[in-house]
Chains A and B, each alone.
Chain A
């Protein structure tokens, strides 16, 4: 998928620290990497290593202490509709129905659409995440998985070039998680957008990623690993025994980088 070598986001020597009591807490240290156009990039690492911060910097919601982030060659100056972010917590507006939440993006952008077209368009994205049947429910009536889907539809409707997903499928039950993996993969393949996905679930990372960036405890990049596993990686192909071996081997490789960072004994790669 990422044979395309066009650089979309360029992260250069980015460090970020937050002031705290006396001194500062360093969360990112001299991070440098590129995100290619139409790439599915996954960032893994221990909690508190600055994964979420990295996404917020790309989104333009926060700014690096030092270093630069370029989007198509231009420094990121603030948030924009070209970078849709899906947050770890649900961000649905509780007073709007699911459909109305999805319409929000059209309203923000002042798109010249009549009510019916807006609804139809929003409905299309709800169907895409398999939530068409819940269009008229309020967020309070949704389960965790449904809220995730609704947030996804909400951001997708804005048609961002880049999807920034922060632990988007954490705390979902495994079946829902699997469905969401299938859906996000499909959407990514159809919409041809670029995804930067943060997670601490290695299985998830290996299933989704073109490349995996491992962030270390101290907020530095430990490794950038290319995921050579063929797609599709979900459903029937995942039951192939050879595929399974390669899947596990790659996951162990990622695991070893993380363990080494944590100062643990590493096991040999299968």
Chain B
């Protein structure tokens, strides 16, 4: 009995210790950062405004002035819009590619080729076609998000056991029944993995994409703070970019925990 209780307590304590180490890592990081700026490692002119203390006070200022929301919301909107459009296009393609061997053969070289091209390379073309602005940024983000979604979905749909399909057919299933009840649900874990990767790369590409002439967004704001010599705000913006990315990924991990079945 005492053994069991001891075990439980140890389990709870163990979790607490795990979390404590997570927090400790963040504190250490901030400490190193602060010391580096106090030791003038970023150069005598900038070190003071590069420090976390300066960044946090700039962050407070940006929150109260409304600047933070003003630039975060368009960024999040662009990423979510492009993800939504990417999902609509990529999931059906991924299922087709994964399930039909011929479609996979048809598309393999082209897809592997396309996914290796940085979407920023398409930037001039995007601007010629869509002009400077929201549409171009969304297009570039879409272009980076579709590949992980297509490739992971097709991997998932390709893993569907022929046994499941045969069994379904002897249970009277038609093609659409097999698609809806077997192939798509079977691919859900891989779709979610694809989504997680897509969110990651979109968020990373967002910042340079927003440097292409849009009037708002976190990427734009980075350039803006630079031009105004507000390096404290620049550092604060970098922290916000990291924090939002972290939250998006956490949301994704939650989705995976909730909806991905495991064998």
Q: Which residues of A contact B (CB under 8 A)?
A: 59, 61, 78-81, 83-85, 87, 89, 91, 93-95, 104-105, 107-110, 138, 140, 154-155, 158, 160, 164
Contact = CB atoms under 8 A, between A and B. Distances in A.
Contacts of A95: 185-186, 188, 261
A140 B172 contact: no
A94 B181 contact: no
A99 to B, nearest CB: 15
Give chain B's interface secondary structure class. helix
B69 interface: no
Which of A94, A140, A154: most chain B Cβ within 10 A?
Answer: A94
Contacts of A155: 170-171
Contacts, number: 69
Given A61-B169, A95-B186, A140-B262, A87 B177 contact: no
B161 interface: yes
B163 interface: yes
Give chain A's interface secondary structure class. loop
15 contacts: A79-B170, A80-B172, A81-B171, A84-B171, A85-B166, A87-B163, A91-B166, A93-B182, A93-B185, A94-B263, A104-B171, A105-B172, A108-B168, A155-B171, A158-B172
A80 B263 CA distance: 28
B169 A91 contact: no
A199 B171 CA distance: 22
A87 B263 CA distance: 19
A81 B170 contact: yes
A154 B171 contact: yes
B181 A108 contact: yes
The 7 closest A-B pairs by CB, nearest first: A81-B172, A95-B261, A91-B167, A108-B173, A79-B169, A85-B170, A105-B171
A105 B164 CA distance: 12
Given A85-B167, A94-B261, A94-B263, 19 more contacts: A59-B166, A80-B170, A81-B170, A83-B170, A84-B171, A87-B166, A89-B163, A95-B185, A104-B181, A105-B171, A105-B172, A107-B177, A108-B171, A108-B174, A108-B177, A110-B177, A140-B262, A155-B171, A158-B172
Contacts of A91: 161, 163-164, 166-167
B162 to A, nearest CB: 10
Interface in B141-192: 161, 163-164, 166-174, 177, 181-182, 185-186, 188
